[in-house]
Amino acid sequence: MPAVKRNLFVRRPPAGRAQRPRPVVALCSRMPSIADATLKLAAKGELDAVLALLDRDPQLLDAQSGGHGRTLLWEAANKGRLPLVEALLARGADADLAGRYRHETFVLCKPLAVATRSRKHDCTALLAPRTTDDVYTAAFLGELDAVRDHLERDASLLDAPQAADSVWAVTPLHHAVAGGHVALVEALLAAGARVAGHDALLLEMTRGERALVERLLDAGADPATARATWAVDLEDGLRERLFAAGC
């Protein structure tokens, strides 16, 4: 593995230094819930149908799907439905509400992140000035310089759990792994990002991508926590390494 400069990021405070815990906020605690059938209209770009629903019930604008946080704007951005994205933003939709499809992203992502990931460039350009910059979005998108800037301003973010996620205690490292960004994962690990206690989820988030699995194992991830459901798809050498640990 190529050497990584250990000064790419500010290292986290020494172990003895007290750090204020960050609250984990339950998803949808601030917003009404929304039915999947309604969200599917946004995913399909059904502009007239969505606007008609909002005319009848304006609270649906920022309503989130139970457990996964998806909004009308999130669904429209994910599928690149530009006219609907424009209309929702014009009505004041919150571009900072994060959501996910677990099998696609694992982590909670803002509409900007899923639009960028899906290469919906027109939507990305529209959402960017309306989205608050944060370390998790930067990590998911592999923006090493932006992540470094966040950590230089607040070193405690290195292992800080994403407050919006009530399901998993995910950190910038999880977002970098979920986004598939090997160089950023290396840099975060070199800066001291914590792997212990996150082994199973981090390894699952790799989807068996060899480079990511190897970086995590080298950083101390316990291979015994790996899921055999994806381990069998790995190249022989790495699969043997995992199975030797009892996967």
| Structure confidence by residue, pLDDT tens digits, 45-54 | 999 999 999 9
Q: Looking at the structure, do residues 163 and 113 belong to the same domain, yes or no?
A: no
Judge whether 46 lies within some domain.
yes
Give whichever of 13-27, 56-70, 231-245 has the largest mean pLDDT: 56-70
Report the greatest alpha carbon distance in the chain.
59
Q: Looking at the structure, do residues 150 and 100 belong to the same domain, yes or no?
A: no
Do 83 and 75 touch, CB atoms closer than 8 A? no
Do 136 and 22 touch, CB atoms closer than 8 A? no
Q: Looking at the structure, do residues 56 and 82 belong to the same domain, yes or no?
A: yes
> pLDDT at residue 11 above 50?
no
**Domain assignment of residue 153, given as a range:** 133-192
Residue with the bigger pLDDT between 22 and 38: it is: 38
| Amino acid letter, residue 166 | S
Q: Looking at the structure, do residues 164 and 108 belong to the same domain, yes or no?
A: no
Q: Which of 79, 34, 40 is nearest to 61 (CA)?
A: 34
Q: Alpha carbon of 68 to those of 30, 156, 178, 204: distances in Å?
A: 14, 26, 16, 18
| Structure confidence by residue, pLDDT tens digits, 144-165 | 999 999 999 999 999 999 999 9
Alpha carbon 64 to its chain's center: 17
Dihedral sign for Cα 143, 146, 150, 155, please.
Answer: positive
Judge whether 10 lies within some domain.
no
| Structure confidence by residue, pLDDT tens digits, 109-145 | 999 999 999 999 999 999 999 999 999 999 999 999 9
pLDDT for 102 equals 77
pLDDT for 30 equals 52
Judge whether 12 lies within some domain.
no
Judge whether 6 lies within some domain.
no
Domain total for the chain?
3
